[in-house]
Amino acid sequence: MKRIMSGLRTDEAGPQEHNKIALHRICRELVDRSPLLLPLIVVAGCIAGGVIGGCAVCMALVAGLMLHRYRTLSCALLCGCVVILSQALRTRCEQHFFPSGCAPAAVQLEGTVVATLNHGCILETGWTGVRVALYSNEARWQLGDKLRVVAAPLPPTSPPVSGMFSQERWMRGQGLAARLSCLQWVKTGISHGRASLMRVAGYIREALSNRLMPPGTRNDIRRQVLCALVLGEKERADESTTEIFRRGGCLHVFAVSGLHVGIVAGICWFLLRLCHVRPLFGRYVQLTLVGMYVLATGLAVPALRAYLMLAILMGGMILRRRTSFLNAWCFAAILILMLQPWQLFQPGFQLSFIVYGAICLGVRYGMGKLPWFGPDTYIPARLRTRSERLTSVVDLFVRGAVVVSLSAWLVALPLTIFQFHVVNTMSYLINILLAPLLPVVMFAGLLVLAAGWLPLLGGWIHTVALCTTGWLIALVDISGTLPGAYLPAAPAAPPTAFMAVDLGYGKSFTALGNPGLFLGDVQRLSTARYMVQPALFHAGFSPLLCVNNSESGAIQLYQRSWPQLRVLVVTPGDPPRRFSTDAGSFTIYAPPAGIPGKFAANLCPVILWERADGKRILYVGNAALSTLETIPPKQRIADVLILGYNAHEPIIDTEYVWAMRIRELILLPSTNENWMPREKLPGVEIRTLSAQPRGIIR
């Protein structure tokens, strides 16, 4: 009778009541299928804090009370209390060592090395203690070492352009309270916890990596990718190799993630079934083998998430209990966030969990029941011909690859824009093409580890693995070199824009116009890779000319980012050169013939940029005074003067500068800001690049 009356009330209800009833039913089914969803929302909100945390708790309260799920609500509130308490203890510990509002002073810490860095480590004093990045050029620490250190805080640095590597964001993602320079340290012992387990796993990974990359093959890009793909050994890969996968939008393939764990689990299950192992016993073996693989690859968060979900699903099969993918997903997220709350701000955590959820939703609602080009689903499989069965399998594979890749790309796009400030337009298509190739490469790499040492069969296995890895690299490389495949998230700089960036240690580089040219201290490959190219890329500049004599590696890096770029080598005595773009006309004045070449700055040219809006910018930089005097006096008149310092022929005469009729003077870091008194240049705005937050952008 109650069902009949409820049905009558539903039929008599209006459209708004129908929507409320449907929404209530969806929420109830969602909470019933995944009781851990509300605790996950509360835990993530409490870690984020602020308005987000308050909204998350209110949402959980409203949902729990309206749906009458009091036990679920109690669990959510309990998890939130634990997180808030641990966050409060950690904050109190950080304030004890690094009190706000006080001058930085040396601190004494005692903790365990939980991760190694380049010339340093991450030191942790406990679960609710403080985590710091400790640096030293002499010490070499290992995972699990217990240290007592005296260290001094390092000043924070900010990137000159949004999108470049930010130490502040990196520290937040690692849960670090400060960066310290080690003054004194003493090793007090070795930990026997997770850090020591990771230390043993590192030894295992090193031994396995040596099988994939024997001595003498360090420069083989195929073996670099194979080590990173199979074992997560990214440290063996060159930066140029990583750049190929970054530009191709396939950097997730370059590191061990949930995809790799799924492939390894599938390979293990296939081999166990091939050996006629009973399913009940095979599940235990599969969990053990996959767990050893995840441990050997370093317990990365995406791989750990996949293994926890696999363990829950396999446990449900063993215990004959129904399991939910969404509930397993929530359990893995809660467990990781309760142990390491800072993972919420890590790009790896966000991409792993959010992309997996999007894939599940895409498969659930995007696959559909009707095939795209296969036989009708109403025809029983036993009545289909062999070609129809094959077509049905191909149709299912194509639909799955398209839906999975599209779902992952649509969700990962805003995350990559927010975290990395880039847009990969071709990653959607390239991931579809990589879907059938990745399992083959993974299986070949695992075969090398298992049987690559055999006398006859081992050589053939190595050949197959390297050949398939080469195909993978070529496919990703082609996709990354296509026009518009790798774009900055920031809009393009206007044609009249110019930028000067401090590189530290008195060095800098300047970009004039878009499209235009750039010059300065851009010769070294390391500077080009980590500062010059990222700054130009994320600021939206597309230079056409590089005026300097750069290293071959730096030139290749620049031309890979901007294929139309030309490198102009200026030699003393060359006549003035002029070229025009949409940004205006540029005149390049070379040093005079016979100038002493002892100082490298003597060979720097002077650039006169006449913008399209009529404004004149004269870039002198570190060029010598004799180079500037080769320009006719009328051509030296400019609105903006960008000036550095030349040790051989410095420009220190204020009257000389005043005769140029400049209205703005930008001093590069190589100058001493006190050498030119401001009172002798009335009406001239003087800006010092080194006094800016590592950059000037106009």
What confidence tens digit (pLDDT) does each residue in 168-194 have? 888 888 889 999 999 999 999 888 878
Q: How far apart are CA 592 and CA 587, in angstroms?
A: 15
**Structure-block tokens of residue 649:** 């022929």
Taking alpha carbons only, the member of 499, 638, 538, 518 closest to residue 581 is: 518
Q: Over the chain, what is the mean pLDDT? A: 85
CA separation for the pair 477, 689 (Å, rounded): 38
pLDDT for 5 equals 42
CATH of domain 98-191: 2.40.50
- Given a cut of 60, whether residue 693 has pLDDT beyond it is no
CATH topology of domain 498-697: Metallo-beta-lactamase; Chain A (3.60.15)
pLDDT at position 370 over 80: no
pLDDT of residue 692: 53
- Percent share of the chain, pLDDT over 70: 92
Contacts 24+ apart (CB under 8 A), 309-312: 310/261, 310/265, 311/287
How many whole angstroms separate alpha carbon 80 and alpha carbon 464?
51
Element (H, E) at 111: strand 107-117
Mean pLDDT of 298-326: 87
Name which of 250, 274, 281, 173 is nearest 486 in CA terms: 250
DSSP string, 457-496: HHHHHHHHHHHHHHHHHHHHHHHHHSTTSEEESSPPPPTT
Domain segments of the chain as ranges? 2-95, 98-191, 203-481, 498-697
Residue 594 or residue 153, greater confidence: 153
Whole-angstrom Cα distance, residue 146 to residue 123?
A: 9
99 has a pLDDT exceeding 90: no
Angle at 175 between CA 172 and CA 180, to 5 degrees: 90
What is the per-residue pLDDT across 651-660, written as a single tens digit (0 to 9) for each? 877 888 888 8
The DSSP element (H or E) to which 114 belongs, if any, is: strand 107-117
- Decide if 79 contacts 60 (C-beta within 8 A): no
Q: CA-CA distance, 142 to 196, in Å (whole number)?
A: 9
Residue 2, token pair as written in the block: 């109650």
Name the band, by pLDDT with cuts 50, 70 and 90, for residue 255. Answer: confident
Average pLDDT over residues 499-514: 89
Edge to edge, what strands does the sheet with 685-688 contain?
A: 577-581, 584-589, 606-611, 616-621, 640-643, 664-667, 685-688
Q: Is residue 182 within a helix (H) or strand (E), and if so which, with residue range?
A: strand 178-190
User: Which amino acid makes up residue 45?
Assistant: G
The confidence score (pLDDT) of residue 683 equals: 81
pLDDT in tens, 597-643: 777 788 889 999 999 888 999 999 888 888 888 888 888 899 999 99
- Cβ neighbourhood burial of 458 (10 Å; 0-12, 13-18, 19+): middle
**DSSP annotation of 425:** S
Q: pLDDT: is 231 or 102 the higher one?
A: 231
Q: Do domains 98-191 and 498-697 have the same CATH topology?
A: no
Q: Hey, what are 625's tokens?
A: 């005074």
Question: Cα-Cα-Cα-Cα dihedral of 161, 163, 164, 170, to 10°?
Answer: 120
- Closest by CA position to 91, among listed 348, 349, 342: 342
Mean pLDDT value across residues 304-325: 87
Phi-psi category of residue 185: left, alpha or beta, with phi > 0 → left and psi -120 to 50 → alpha: beta
Specify whether the CB–CB gap between 293 and 285 falls below 8 A: no
Please say if the pLDDT value at position 101 is more than 80. no
Q: Alpha helix locations (H) across 421-456?
A: 427-434, 437-451
Q: Please, where are the H alpha helices in 128-178?
A: 167-174
Token readout for 582 is 């949409």
Q: What is the model's pLDDT at position 322?
A: 81
Question: How is residue 575 annotated by DSSP?
Answer: P
Reported as type and span, the H/E element at residue 123 is: strand 120-124
pLDDT of 137 > 90? The answer is no
* Nearest residue to 136 via CA among 73, 78, 181: 181
